[in-house]
Each structure stands twice: as C-alpha cells, then as structure tokens.
Structure 1
Amino acid sequence: MNQDRTGDVRTEGYITDGFWSRYIELVRDVVVPYQWEVLNDRVPDAAPSHAIDNFRIAAGEKQGDYYGMVFQDSDVAKWLEAVAYLLRRQPDATLERQADDTIELIARAQQPDGYLNTYYICNTAEPRWSNLCECHELYCAGHMIEAAVAYFEATGKRRLLEVMCRFVEHIDAVFGHEAGQIAGYDGHPEIELALMRLYEVTGNERHLALCRFFVDERGRQPHFYDREWEKRGGTHHDFGAGGDGVQPFMLHDKGYSQAHLPVYEQDRAVGHAVRFVYLCTGMAQLAQHSGDERLMAACRRLWDNMATRQLYVTGGIGAQAPRESFTCDFDLPNDAIYGETCAAIGLMFLARQMLMVETDRRYADVMERSLYNNVLAGMALDGQHFFYVNPLEVDPKVLGDNLVLQHVKPVRQRWFTCACCPPNLARLIASLDRYVVGCADNTAFVHLYIGGDYALPLADGTLRLHQQSELPWGSNVSMTVQADNAVNATLALRIPAWAAGFSLDINGEASDISPGDNGYLSIERQWVDGDRISLSFEMPIRRVYPHRAVRHDAGRVALQRGPLVYCMEQADNGEQLHNMALYQGGTLETAEGSDELEGMTLIRAAAVRDAEADSDSLYRFDSAPMKSECTATFIPYFAWANRGEGEMRVWVREVR
C-alpha cells in the first residue's frame, strides 16, 4: 500500500466558507425540515413518502399497508444521518428531539430476533432474505448502520447504534457457509461500506469479517442469484420484467449489480452507477483496514476505467437511462445521459476513500469536479427542488415526445417516488467537512479549499488550521496555524489540475516548492502558532476538449474556470443553442451575475450564430447558412434551471 495513508486518524472540521456555508445553512434551515415534512406526508404537492408511517405500522402502532419503494426505509436513514452531521456542527434541540423520537420508533419496529425492515415486517407473506437480488434488505440495513454511526459520533447517544448492532448480529447469523446459512449478498451494494464504518467505531472483527464475506461472495459460481430465484419458485419483485417464471433482468444482466465476476477479477465500470461506486467504496475501505493489496489493485483498475473512460466533464457517471448504468468506454451522450445525483455523491464517497488509502491528486480532482458540478446541480438554489437526472444538454420541446429522453426533466422536481437523491444530497452537504482534509503519521493533507477550522491529529501533536478561501469565484486561499505548542510536521497542499499555475508564500516570504508526483505540494517544517500560508492559483477561463474517441463531443468545446464547469442557457442566449458556436481563440471574459445569479461569475464568449434560412425547406442544396457574430453567455452548470424552463448546453461547437 502507498505509505501516504490518510485513513488511520479522524480529523475534525467546522466549515465557515463564503460559498459552502450558505449551502450547509440551506440544508439545516430548509432541506432537512422540508424532507421531514415529506417523510411525514405533510407536503401536498410532493409525491407521498409514507416512510415514517411504514415504521409505525411495523411497530404495531398504526393500521394500514406498507407503501412506497421496497427500499423506503433508506430515506429515513439518510435523513437521520444528515441530522447527525448538523447536530455535530451545532446543537438544535428541536432537530435532536425529532431524531430521538424517530430512533425510538425504529427501535420499537425492530423484531425480537433483531431483524429490521418495514417492507418485510409489514408484508409477512413474503419471507425475509428470500429475494436479495432485487429487494434491498441489506441495502436498507447499510443506510441505517451509517445513520447509527453518524448519530453516535455526533451526540454520543448509543440507542440507534445498539439497535443496528443487534441487527448486524442477526445478519451475521443468517449469512455464511454453515448449514442453514445463506451464501449470498444484496443486489444493491451498500452493506459493505456501512459495515466498515461500523467496524471503525466498534473495532469488532466480526463486522470486518462480515464485510469480507459479502465482498468475496459477489460473482462467485454457481451464481447466487440463479440459485435464489430457483429456490423461491421463479417469482420476482416488481423490478423484474414479465410474469412469474420469467427471469428478471438482474439475472440475465449480472453486471447490472457488479455480480458478473468476482470483484478481484473485475476491471471495468459496468452496470448501475450507484451500485458500482458504493461497492468500490466498501472494497477500498476493506482493503485499507485489512491490508489486502489484491483488493486495492482491483479498486485502482476500476477507478482508472471509470475516471479516464466513463466520467462526464461535470463529474457525473452513468451514461444511459436503462438500468441507470454505464455503457462502454467513451460513450458519453449529453442529452440521453442519466448522471444520477446519487451516483455523483457515491463517486465522492469513493474518491474520499481512495484518498484515505493513497493520497493522489487524481482522486481529489474528481471529488472536487463532482462536488461543484453534478452534485450541486442536483438541488435548486431554494433547497426545495431536486434533479434526479443531470443532463449536459436539454431542449424542453423534445422531451415530451422523445421516449429516449423521457427520464430527463427541464426543471427540478419537488420530490420523487424513488426519493433517494434529496436525502443523499442533504447528508453529503451536511458532512462536507469530512472531505476537506486528511492526515497520516506526521503529514496533514488539504484536499479541498473550503474555508473553515480543521483539527488534524499528527504524530508530533495536533495541527489546527484556519482556512479562508475565495473559491470557486476567486483564486486566493490562506491558512493560519493555531497551535499551543510547536508541531514538527508536513503540510501537503493539493495543486488542482485546473490551475494554470500557482504562487506560494509562507509567513510573507515567497516559496518555490514544487508539487510531488502525487500532485501535492509538501511543506515540512516546525509549525508554530500564527504561521500563515498564502496560496494563489492562476484561474483563467479554460477551454476543455474531449478525447477523440468521444463521438458526441467531436468538434465541440466546454468552458471551465476553477472547479466550475459552465453551460449556456436559453434565458441568456435565446432558443436553438445548437446553432451557436464559439470562435476558436476568441475572447473569453468574466462578468458578474444578477438577480437569481447574483454573486456568481459568468463568462462572455465571442461566438457566431447560424442565421434564419430564406427557405423553409427541411434540406436544401449548396446553400450554407448565413452567420452573424454574437456574444454567448455561460453560467455555472450547477445553477442552470433556476430561472424557468429552457434549453441548456455544456458542449458547444467551435469554429475558426
């Protein structure tokens, strides 16, 4: 393993950032309270959730039937996890009381043997653990484990942690190779990374061993899915296609759930994008704690294929709507993309975990790209509307009739029947301080330039950093050391790939230190209270060009400034954005946004537009369209669709 491991110790952080504090406050003041109302079915124009009532029914406190997706419990778990991170940031008696009451409800729904899943508790005719391929039992358990760990770390309260440890004991008894046990795994990876988070808190080797079991079992032959389907008589859940006796697609397409091969043999990102990043995150955690270099090598192979062949410029993954999945290398359509918000969030989980094993800029660059673009685009500026799908090209006029694009929405929605993305956004943004820094041995790493106060426990003492950042609009970052005693340590600062250059001052003196092979600039010295580091990045508007194998973007260019990818919107540029092109080498200038975009940096670009043709003919001979010069306006991609419905485009034609 790389010696620069950053996952052995826990850092603490409190974000006070000019850009991100607004979003954390939005999650606290708007998103989490709004989601609480949705979970309790008190928002008239939002899709019903019934998630809290499902627990009441399971606890025997309310009459009625289970309602919602088979994984509806996970919405409650993710809400609880977001609450935990907010409480860790600052006390909130009302929020803590709501969470404690919900935890008690969950505890009352738990069965005497430790089992906990409202779908199967309410639907007693369906046997537990009989359809792991489709029905998300371990997935829901994983999300609730994550919530339990986060709530314990934030408040010190063990109630939910004890509930979930009982459930894990039950799972440990059910799964294995002994007589009467199930040698299988869930169709949706999640339990793996959750068990590793639980292990980090409990130190219980059974939790690590259970994660190892689920990782090692996946993809083995004879295949578990086939044996399970035959055992239950060829029935399927409503995710399947056809009637009973007809195999559901997950049995035909085992790559959909990354179960086509043992994980050690996999080398391409395939299948459902969220499943892929969740599984790889758990694999990397297991490799970190077990020292399994073979497993880590598989993580690197899978990362490299995804990041160099199947990653959108916005940090999104998952190129197609059918099965919300990857397709093949360099197949990156802009309008038919899926780019699920949850997948981008899962990609951040994976990038952070890879950084914990080995500190390399390539992981942090992707984490930053995904955060500022695909992830942030998933939520409107008001915090009450959300994207499930994040396209790079939209024309609302075709969405209603083109069935290939029916998954794409031109504006964000209030809620979803399958509501995984909004609570996932809440827990990610509320826990953002966990992604900024890392440390190992006697080196402190700064991965993201997000203002705040961070405590990094090192071998020679705790190094506390007060970071101020102008990103994403400005280029300057400063860090002030706060230390009771001198600390001999290395401070490693990431130099982003988007930076055209940088300058570094230490206590007012210029430094010519260069980044290492890992893309981090390492400063080794004795740090004392008041030491100050100033870092300034060259942040011009940069033209981004695609790999020649990406056919969808041939002859096109995208614009990026700092970590932000930009797009054109109809609100600024009129209709038929496909008729606009940028001049190669033409002027690119920054401008200030106004109204909904106030405080944002926009881009004005020298462009040309195809003029209206004299003829209405669909096709015509020997008559190229007339062109007129114009100025194209680009806005940050994350901010699109906040000014009403209209066209949008990231990749734009370029002409001489």
Structure 2
Amino acid sequence: MRLITVFLLAGYSLLFASTLKQNDFLQINSQSCAIKRSSCTIEKVHPFLNSEVTLKSSWIEQRASLNLQYLKSLEPNRLLHNFRVNAGLPSSAKPLEGWESPKIGLRGHFVGHYLSALASVVENRQDTLLSKRLKYMVAELFKCQQALGNGYLSAFPEADFDKLETTFGGVWAPYYTYHKIMQGLLDAYIRTGNEQAYQIVVGMADYVKRRMDKLSPDTIEKVLYSVGANPSNEAGAMNEVLYKLYEVSGNPQHLALAKIFDRDWFAIPLSKNKDNLSGLHANTHLVLVNGFARRYSLTGEELYRNATLNFWNMLMKSHAYVNGSSSGPRPNVVTLTSLSAEHWGTPRHLSNTMTKEIAESCVSHNTQKLTSTLFTWTAEPKYADAYMNTFYNAVLALQNAHTGDCVYHLPLGSPRHKAFLKKNDFRCCNGSSIEAFSLLNSGIYYHDDSYLWVNLYVPSAVQWKEKNVTIEQDGNFPDASTVDFTVSVKKKSDFTLNLFIPSWAQKVDVYINDELQKETVSPMSYISIHRQWKNHDRLKMIFHYDFHLKTMPDDENVIALFYGPTLLAFETTSELILKGSHSDILKNLSISADHTFHLRNNGKEYLLHPLYEIDNESYGVYATIRDEIL
C-alpha cells in the first residue's frame, strides 16, 4: 500500500536520533566525539558525504569538468613560490600574477582555495593526479612551516600582523589570507585523511593563540572592528575554521580562540533582529555569520542561532537581488570600490544600486553555504527554495559555459556584460569559484534515519549506505521539466522520499512505476512518499512551467522575468524600458522550439535566454516599466 502526503516542513518539528558519519580514517579523541554528537542533535537533517553523491553526465557535470580542467592546469611550484620565498627556501618558479603577485598583500589566499577544491575533487572522484598534487602541496607547505620554525605559515611576512596590531590597518587582510590557508589544509585532512595537513593547521592555530594572548581586549577589538569600507583588517572566516578545528581536535584552546573572532558589536544586534548590515562590506561579515552558525552547532548557544537565522532573513528580504545574490554600492562612499561594489546598502532599497559591479561571486558562494546549514537545522522548504534559485541563477550564471572562466560581479541591470576574469588574475572570486564548482554535487540530497530529501533536480546518484539504497536521478532540468528517479535496493526497503516542490511550481505530476498519483501538490512544500521500495522502482516528476515575475522590494515597476526556476536575461545593447501592466507583460511572453524566449512589448520583440547561458552577449535582467505619455 502506498501512502503519499504533501506537507510543509516549516511546521515539521520531529527530531530524529542520529549518529555521526565520519570518514574511516579520521582519528578523533573521545572529547571531540562527544562534541560532534552534541552538534548532530541540533541538526534535523544531514547532507550526504561528498563521496556518496556522484554527478551523472549532464550540463551541470560539464560545468564541474571545466573547473576540473582548470585545477589540473595550475602548476604547483608556481603556487608554492611565495611561500618558499617567505620561508627563506629556494624557488626557481615563475611567480604568479594578479592578487598572487609577490608584492600583493593577499598572496597565498588562492592556494587555500586550491587546496580546498583539490580535497573535494579527490574525495569525490578519487582523481589520481590531483591526489598526488594535494599530497605534494601539503608536504612542501610543511617544509615552509618547519623552516619558519614557530608554527607560522604564509606567503607574506609576520610583519603584516605586527602592523595590523599596531595601526589596525595599513596591510591587506592578513587574517583573511591566513584563514584561507588553514581552511584548505583542514579540508585536506578531513576529506582525504592527510595527517601532515592537520599537523600544519594545529601549528598555525597555536601561532595565532600566542599572538592573541599578548594583546589586550581593547587591542583585539580594534584589530577586528571591521565596519569601514573595504576593511583592510578583514578577518575572513577565522572563527569558522577554528570551530571546525575544535570539532576535530576537541582542544578547548581552539574553541576559546575561535570565540575571539566572534564580535559582539555584530552578533548581538543580529540576535535581537536589528538590521545592522547597511554600509558593511558584504563578504567580510557574511563569513562571520557562517562562523556563528558553526558555533551554535557546537555549543547550542541561542544567541548565535538567533543571530544566524535573523541575518539570513534580513539578507534575503532586504538586501538580496532576485537571484539570491547580494552586495553593491555603499550608502556612504569613501573608497572607489564602495562607489559601486561589495557592500550592503539601505534595507529594501535596491532599485538604485544597479551598477556594473553588484553581486560578488564570493558572496553568492558563501550565501549558499549558510543556506545549506540552515536547512540542516530546520528542514524548512524556504531554504531549499532559496538554494535552488541561487544555484541556477547566481552560481551557475557566474561561470562561462565554454571556457570555465568566472566573473567577480554578476550585474543585473541593462545593458550589461559579464566581465570574465582572466585565469591568471587569482582574485578572491577565482578562488571561491573553484571551490563552488568542485562541490556542485552538494546541496542535492539530505537525510535522517528514515527520510531522504531531494532538494535539487540534478542528474546524479546518491548512495544511502545505512539503508543499502542507491537512488539515481536523470533528466535535463531545468531546460526539460521531466525528472526521473530509479531506486536500487538489495531487498525491499522502507523509507520516505521527500521531493521538493519549489515556490514557482503550481502543478507537478508524479508517477510511480508509470502510475499517476492523484494528489494535490502545493508550492513551497515536499511531496512525501512512504512505501516499501523495491529494486528498480521508478519515479517520475513532470513540472509544469509558467512565466512569472519578481519585482524590486522598493519599486514594483522594476521587474525580472522567470520561466519556472530559470531567471531570464534579455539580449540587449540598450536600457530595458517596457510598457504595460505585469499581466500584460507576462501574457506576451512565449517560448520557441529551440528553447529561446520572446517578449512582444511596445512594438518590439525581445529575445531572452537563461542567465546561466549568457556568455559574451550584451544583456539585461531587470527591466523598468514606464507608461508615461511622452
């Protein structure tokens, strides 16, 4: 007998007992195991391990493959050059360019991203070449740390920290870069079992502790008070990486050190639901909130849960664009960058922020991390909905589908171009992008003891080892609206499959073994299918797409158009000015057989494409409706 129900997980309150899944190689003391068990009780659902979800052949997998090709093209000795020079070791390699140049303050940051990306690929794909490169990179960085002799490891000198602690600026974000290196090495340990990488990270943390122990609370506050435009004291996610280290080590010194990087001036107003984001540098503070989330998962402190949940709601309702991305001009412009980019503005005032440099790629990537975390806490469909929107319309849209190049900013006004970064720029968004595209298999599936959630419709296979179940997903979503699932079990298996129904999905047909299920489907919910699953059971979902639009929060005449989940971009070399009501515009949209879109408006016919398919064309996303008689 089959039971199919539709329910809103916003009201879902059952907590299921869970056991922590660890990589077999991870050696953790009993104190740390207790910590991890505690954190698991906070989570209602858990993502599958990176090694348990495999992308199948599709346009999504092709995007991941472009990223893989780029990772393999990088020369390890060039990446190591500045580290060796800083450690007094010989290097004959040609220095890197861009933000990894020998005189740039952030040199070394990209190497941290590179280590994280390699660790993800090696864990998921068991890639032999990149596995060797990862081991080589870690071994050579260990030599650099040993040469320096005090636990310190970086591509820039310790004098940068000395200056930060005395002038509270004047150098380019040493903790930001230091964190990237720590995170890359910690990922190498957690994902691939590289013990040497763990040893390096512990030494780096000990070095930071010794520095902080020498500083007064007043000095620490000045070092970490990052309220200015483009703050040069940006600390990155030092709090998050140290919480992750504590999660592994169980060393209370790591927990205490992580807490130092959580600043009350930012966390407490957020915990009280006060929007204090206006004027702040977006990525500086977004990653701090990821650290707050990690702290709550470990300690259960409600202040950090409230701060995290409130922040996400503020971000999405008052500061995010139609695709879930954010960042743009600063209300009070005091630097050239803050004129057009990288900051949050006045809440719910976005229509006047449409510069050519909004929506920083780092911000989109780190927003996805936070959204996924909140889904594990709550299993609420609003987080799945936001994740899907940002996945297709911000993350995938920032990459060139032919070259794999990425953008620093994803402008949404008109007319606009995607300014793809050169592969040798090595900016922060190059680094965030290689991480994001090495993890396109994440965010698709979640589980607890009895339920499996499907949040993205991406051709893939997931192994639910505890149930001896494999589920394969096929299709060409979102270009094609049909998604097929095949269940493989060695014997009949009793579990519930929760299939996400996004906010735009007004109608979805569901078939089990070709039999149509006559159930009502509600947007922003899950179809919950409980049954005794048999080997080769088949499930099909057919989404019925329609056109819909979303407006700016401060101007209903500034609109963006969607077809199902897909944000559409106009081909245009001029500003987009439309006429008519919302309903008039929607009824004059159409789709052709070649999957291009057309809008007839004010005597013109516009051609539109999914934003994630735009490469070098001049385009526009937001259009303005003006009906004045001239």
| TM-score after normalising by structure 2 | 0.79
The question of whether the paired residues in 2 share the 8 Å contact of 1:78 and 1:423 is answered with: yes
* Range moving further from structure 2, 298-307 or 478-487: 478-487
Within 5 A, what are the aligned runs for 1:367-406?
367-395=387-415
Note the alpha carbon deviations across 1:196-250, whole angstroms, 9 max, x for none: 33344445554444333432xx035xxxxxxxxxxxxxxxxxxxxxxxxxxxxxx
d(CA) in 2 for partners of 1:286 and 1:125?
A: 25
Task: Output aligned runs, 1:47-66, within 5 Å.
Answer: 52-62=80-90
Checking the alignment, whether the CA contact within 8 Å between 1:359 and 1:518 is kept in structure 2 is no
Q: 1:234-286: CA deviations, max 9, x gaps? A: xxxxxxxxxxxxxxxxxxxxxxxx48x56534632441121232122221222
Are the aligned partners of 1:57 and 1:63 in contact in 2 as well (CA < 8 Å)? Answer: yes
Pick aligned residue for 1:352 from 355, 372, 376: 372
Name 1:563's counterpart in structure 2: 565
Match of 1:532 among 526, 531, 538: 538
| Alignment size in residue pairs | 552
| Contact residue 120 and residue 127 of structure 1 kept, 8 A | no
Quote the Cα distance in structure 2 between the aligned partners of 1:538 and 1:365.
Answer: 17
Q: 1:192 aligns with which of 223, 239, 242?
A: 239
CA distance in 1, matches of 2:554, 2:600: 25
Shift of 1:603: 0.7
Q: Deviations over 1:388-425 (max 9, x none)?
A: 111112447xxxxxxxxxxxx65323157560111211
1:264 and 2:271 correspond: yes
What does 1:415-454 align with in structure 2 at a 5 Å threshold? 415=423, 419-454=427-462
The answer as to 2:331 corresponding to 1:303 is no
TM-score by length of 1: 0.76
Q: In structure 1, what is the Cα distance between the partners aligned to 2:500 and 2:454?
A: 6
Paired residue for 2:20?
Answer: none
Cα distance in structure 1, aligned partners of 2:537 and 2:487: 5
Deviations 1:357-406 (A, max 9, x none): 1111211222221121222232222335332111112447xxxxxxxxxx
Instruction: Give the corresponding residue for 1:473.
Output: 479
Q: Is 1:544 aligned to 2:549, yes or no?
A: yes
* SS, match of residue 584 in structure 1: helix
- AA at the equivalent of 1:352: S
Distance change in 2, residues 1:634/1:130 (3 Å): same
Is contact 2:151–2:207 with CA below 8 Å preserved after alignment? yes
Q: Is the 8 A contact 1:318 1:340 kept in 2?
A: yes
Contact kept? 2:287, 2:366, Cα under 8 Å: yes
- 2:88 matches 1:81: no
Q: Which 5+ residue runs of structure 2 have no aligned equivalent?
A: 1-11, 16-42, 96-100, 225-232, 330-336
Shift of 1:158: 2.0
Query: Residue type matched to 1:273 in 2?
Result: A
Aligned counterpart, 1:157: 194
Q: What is the CA deviation profile of residues 622-645 of structure 1, one whole-angstrom value per residue up to 9, with x for unaligned ones?
A: xxxxxxx232100111233424xx
Alpha-carbon RMSD:
3.3
Q: Which has the higher contact order (CA 8 A, sep 6+)?
A: 2
Higher mean alpha-carbon deviation, 11-20 vs 449-458, is at 449-458
Deviation at 1:76, TM superposition (A): 0.6
Alignment check: 8 A CA contact 1:437 1:448 kept = yes
Task: Output one character per residue of 1:309-330: Cα deviation in whole Å (capped at 9) or x when no partner.
Answer: 2111122101315161110122
Q: Does 1:328 align with 2:346?
A: yes
1:393 is matched by which residue type in structure 2?
G
Distance 1:28 1:592, change over 3 A: farther
Supply the distance in 1 between the matched residues of 2:515 and 2:259 (Cα, whole angstroms).
Answer: 50
Q: 1:635 aligns with which of 605, 609, 615?
A: 609
C-alpha contact (below 8 Å) 1:273/1:326 kept by paired residues: yes
- How many angstroms does 1:428 deviate by? 0.9
Q: Which residue in the other structure is 1:576 paired with?
A: 574
Q: Is the 8 A contact 2:444 2:457 kept in 1?
A: yes
Q: Which deviates further from its counterpart, 263-272 or 307-316?
A: 263-272
Deviation at 1:462, TM superposition (A): 4.6
**Contact kept in structure 1, 2:568 and 2:610, CA below 8 Å:** yes
Where does residue 455 of structure 1 map in the other structure? Answer: 463
Return the letter of the residue paired with 2:197.
L
Give the structure 2 partner of residue 211 of structure 1: 258
Q: 1 CA distance for matches of 2:439 and 2:251? A: 25
Residue 592 of structure 2 is matched in structure 1 by 591
The separation in 2 between residues aligned to 1:361 and 1:474, in whole angstroms, is: 22
SS at 1:282's partner residue?
Answer: helix
Q: Could you tell me which amino acid in structure 1 is paired with residue 585 of structure 2?
A: Q
Aligned to 1:501: 507
* Structure 1 position 538, deviation (Å): 1.3
Give the gaps of 5 or more residues in structure 1: 42-50, 221-257, 397-408, 594-600, 609-628
CA distance in structure 1 between the partners assigned to 2:217 and 2:557 by the alignment:
60
Q: CA deviation at 1:550?
A: 1.9
AA matched with 1:531: D
1:183 shift after superposition? 4.6
Q: Structure 1 residue 63: deviation in Å?
A: 7.5
The equivalent position to 1:26 in structure 2, one of 48, 66, 70, is 66
* Contact kept in structure 2, 1:3 and 1:358, CA below 8 Å: no
Other structure's SS at 1:488 match:
strand
C-alpha separation in 1, matches of 2:373 and 2:589: 37
Contact conserved, 1:280 with 1:299, CA < 8 A, in 2?
yes
- Stretch moving more, 165-174 or 346-355: 165-174
1:653 paired residue number: 625
**Distance across 2 between alignment mates of 1:637 and 1:518:** 23
When residues 478 and 585 of structure 1 are mapped into structure 2, their CA distance, relative to the original with a 3 A threshold, is closer
Matched, 1:361 2:385: no
Q: How far apart are the structure 2 equivalents of 1:84 and 1:339?
A: 27
* 1:445/1:492 contact within 8 Å kept: yes
1:531-569: per-residue Cα shift (whole Å, max 9, x none)? 3222221112x231315x423xx4243221232211112
- Between the aligned partners of 1:23 and 1:193, the Cα distance in structure 2 is 28
Amino acid at match of 1:324: E
- In the alignment, the residues of structure 1 paired with residue 452 and residue 250 of structure 2 have an alpha-carbon distance, to the nearest angstrom, of 24
Query: Are 1:94 and 2:129 counterparts?
Result: yes
Which residue identity does 1:550 align to in structure 2? D
- 1:181 & 1:334 partners in 2: Cα distance? 39
Task: Give the Å deviation of 1:586.
Answer: 3.4
Q: Matched residue of 2:446: which SS? A: strand
The answer to whether the Cα contact below 8 Å between 2:271 and 2:310 also exists between their aligned partners in 1 is no
Q: Given the alignment, which residue of 342, 348, 352 partners 2:362?
A: 342
The alpha-carbon distance between structure 1 residues 127 and 275, as it changes in their structure 2 partners (threshold 3 A), is closer
Q: Measured at CA, do residues 468 and 153 of structure 1 come closer, stay the same or move farther in structure 2, by a change above 3 Å?
A: farther
Separation in structure 2 between the aligned mates of residue 536 and residue 124 of structure 1, nearest angstrom: 57
Q: Does 2:20 align with 1:15? A: no
Change (3 A) 1:69 1:178: closer
Q: Which stretch has the larger CA shift, 104-113 or 137-146?
A: 137-146
SS of structure 2 residue aligned to 1:343:
helix
Shift in CA distance, 497/592, structure 1 to aligned 2, threshold 3 Å: same
Q: Which amino acid aligns with 1:25?
A: S
- Does the C-alpha gap of structure 1 residues 489 and 69 become closer, same or farther in structure 2, counting only changes over 3 Å? farther
1:388–1:124: structure 2 CA closer, same or farther, 3 Å change rule?
A: closer
